[in-house]
């Protein structure tokens, strides 16, 4: 329970930011699942399009501080490796 007016304001701001960050994290998860679905279905063009939008979303999330930059880079790298492996497969 906040004791001062400024602590009350910080608690409100933190709650608002938590809701926004949760929304962004859910969107990242959804985009990643759609990419995985295209990869498992063997749809190369759709997977490439999904990878572009997913990578962009990870960059934006890292820029705003929702996720660490290293995590975003690692996720983007692993997703692009999956797409590359998909293109090499017959």
Q: How confident is the model at residue 2 (pLDDT cuts 50, 70, 90)?
A: confident
Write out pLDDT tens, residues 27-79.
999 999 999 999 999 999 999 999 999 999 999 999 999 999 999 999 999 99
What's the rounded mean pLDDT across residues 11-24? 97
Task: For residue 68, give the nearest of 19, 25, 15, 29 by alpha carbon.
Answer: 25
Number of domains forming the structure of the chain = 1
The CATH number assigned to the domain holding 54 equals 1.20.58.110
CB 83 within 8 A of CB 55: no
| Residue ranges making up the domain that contains 16 | 5-88
Alpha carbons 38 and 86: distance in angstroms, whole number: 10
* pLDDT of 52: 98
Alpha carbons 71 and 54: distance in angstroms, whole number: 13
Q: How confident is the model at residue 90 (pLDDT cuts 50, 70, 90)?
A: low
């Amino acid at each position: 329970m906040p004791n001062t007016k400024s602590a009350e304001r910080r608690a409100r701001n933190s709650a608002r930011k938590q809701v926004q960050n949760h929304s962004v994290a859910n969107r990242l998860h959804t985009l990643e699942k759609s990419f995985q679905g295209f990869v498992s279905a063997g749809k190369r063009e759709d997977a490439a399009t999904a990878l572009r939008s997913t990578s962009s979303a990870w960059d934006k999330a890292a820029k705003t501080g929702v996720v660490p930059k290293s995590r975003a880079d690692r996720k983007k790298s692993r997703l692009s490796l999956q797409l590359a492996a998909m293109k090499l497969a017959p």
